[in-house]
Structure 1
């Protein structure tokens, strides 16, 4: 059966990768579960932050590209959700984040959930969302954040598009999502936000979309999101998705073996890049689980170039 099960990862762009590493591992307390490179641009790190085991659906990842800041606008992913458990956790985060000097909003009720908006030092727009403690999560015992307050995984992603009907068709008719409900977002009350659910739904399996036809088209850059990936359970089901896209004659990358998962890349009609990524085999395919992310990991086809690749990368742990 061809069924997506939730969000797999969100990949964003950082122009200050050491600062990025310090913020996500030390301030947000996420575990760096894979320290590797962009397989299409080996001069750049590709860092994966996640829960304690690198569970699919908990990954927030970054390309290390020295770009100017993103020019915000439509045709883009404008906020990425991260799940935490309960109002007490959100209160802890509000106090914790205000001491770091990053921008943080107020705890508010939005779409019947408590949320807390924040931005990382490069302006990456995030939101902490109360998930009620439901769903997969493996704590990281070495995190500077107490277990009860740790980030549990990805929450809803919020997309801005100029024409809702085009994205709606992609999400529902091609990817099999359900339009569940709408709500009013206080930042743009003139347009309802449409909530699409994946599989069984819930905060780890939602895409929120708002139509903003009067905005300029976003220009990619540091502090912006590159793409969002959705979960496919197995390689066999992934092949079914590839066949389905071929049958519909929708342009796509075909299956790309990323070693830690397999991917299919496809753009929805408003230009936002989607990825269908497998849960298997996972990040422990080439490293022990207890030492994930502590060394540069390269897929086998890049291993012969290790010395050259390492020479071109900046040490992450140097302040």
Structure 2
């Protein structure tokens, strides 16, 4: 059975305590577009918000589950410890540094990450984020910022950059990445302000949109997740046909997994790598325009057809979230 290489990051899903504050931060401050306001399909009492480029192209989505009673995060190992967002140029980072100062966003000085300029920052819930420059990037292309964003298009966020995992033991994670998922080891670097070495793995065309960075920190406790933590990272699979091959491969390797999962906007498969980090494989399509047209993405509560008969009950459990401004 021949499998095509994974294409890179598909989306990252994190946890917020407040959908309203989250919406304000990621659209009005970071300038991303809310391309889908829906619910967690496994727990329909919570919002699932998708922020992305102008139409939610795969590889540009940062998503959030609203868990209103979420406690604080205690950072540590066996976690997805950093999400980076791509911006077009090194000059863009200067724009963002000024913007963060203006809006009092907690941020560091511009530094380098695997040879590319980067700006680390935190959102209002201590979500660990960084902007990374695409100026010297080759590989997977980015998306296109929304024309109606408050951020100028020449500096707008164009997709997900490298995602960082922190583990106490590299060997089992490396084995899954290289021997099962087909990633190749492409380098290593030291991270400013942090002990430990970061190993770089890439897939497909490589570059910012197809790298996983793994920080090894045997000295830290295991992370306790809460608001501001990441729930899972998803990787791009070209088609449903390819995804079903992955289902077969994981079964053959006796790796516990969910099997094929219908998500309507894409199709998925979930499993945990040996350090307990949740991975998802997700198809590039169908996309977000099956139930909303391009001009009105994210304006209403969108429900997959198999939840429509529950709409009244679902809406009654959600706090109103105005996303038309």
Category of TM-score, reference length = shorter chain: over 0.9
8 Å Cα contact 2:32/2:145 also seen in 1: no
Equivalent residue in structure 1 for 2:55, among 53, 56, 71: 53
Structure-2 residue corresponding to 1:105? 108
* Corresponding position: 1:249 with 2:254: yes
Distance 2:228 2:259 in 1: 28
Structure-2 residue corresponding to 1:308? 313
Q: Tell me the secondary structure at the aligned position of residue 109 of structure 2.
A: strand
Structure-1 residue corresponding to 2:163? 157
Q: Tell me the secondary structure at the aligned position of residue 305 of structure 1.
A: helix
Equivalent residue in structure 2 for 1:93, among 93, 96, 100: 96
Cα deviation digits, residues 50-104 of structure 1 (max 9, x gap): 0001100000000000201111111001110100011211000000011112211
Displacement after TM superposition at 1:136 (Å): 3.0
Worse-superposed segment, 212-221 or 49-58: 212-221
Structure-2 residue corresponding to 1:199? 204
8 Å Cα contact 1:230/1:275 also seen in 2: yes
Displacement after TM superposition at 1:142 (Å): 0.8
Structure-2 residue corresponding to 1:124? 127
Residues 191-230 of structure 1 correspond to what in structure 2 (within 5 A)?
191-230=196-235
Structure-2 residue corresponding to 1:273? 278
Distance 2:303 2:321 in 1: 16
Displacement after TM superposition at 1:139 (Å): 2.3
Worse-superposed segment, 125-134 or 306-315: 125-134
Displacement after TM superposition at 1:22 (Å): 0.2
Q: Tell me the secondary structure at the aligned position of residue 104 of structure 1.
A: coil
Structure-2 residue corresponding to 1:72? 75
Scaled by the length of structure 2, the TM-score of the pair is 0.96
Scaled by the length of structure 1, the TM-score of the pair is 0.97
Displacement after TM superposition at 1:214 (Å): 1.6
How many residues are treated as equivalent by the alignment?
Answer: 318
Gaps spanning 5+ residues in structure 1: where?
none
Cα deviation digits, residues 165-193 of structure 1 (max 9, x gap): 0100010001000011111111224x210
Displacement after TM superposition at 1:124 (Å): 0.3
* Corresponding position: 1:260 with 2:265: yes
* Corresponding position: 1:235 with 2:240: yes
Displacement after TM superposition at 1:246 (Å): 0.8
Cα deviation digits, residues 12-42 of structure 1 (max 9, x gap): 0000111000000100000000000001111
Structure-2 residue corresponding to 1:183? 189
Distance 1:312 1:128 in 2: 35
Distance 1:58 1:261 in 2: 14
Distance 2:151 2:226 in 1: 29
Q: Tell me the secondary structure at the aligned position of residue 289 of structure 2.
A: helix
Distance 1:83 1:136 in 2: 8
Distance 2:72 2:153 in 1: 33
Gaps spanning 5+ residues in structure 2: where?
none
Pairwise CA RMSD of aligned residues?
1.3
Structure-1 residue corresponding to 2:29? 27
Equivalent residue in structure 2 for 1:282, among 282, 287, 290: 287
Worse-superposed segment, 55-64 or 211-220: 211-220
Residues 137-148 of structure 1 correspond to what in structure 2 (within 5 A)?
137-148=143-154
* Corresponding position: 1:2 with 2:4: yes
Distance 2:151 2:317 in 1: 32
Displacement after TM superposition at 1:314 (Å): 1.5
Distance 1:206 1:284 in 2: 28
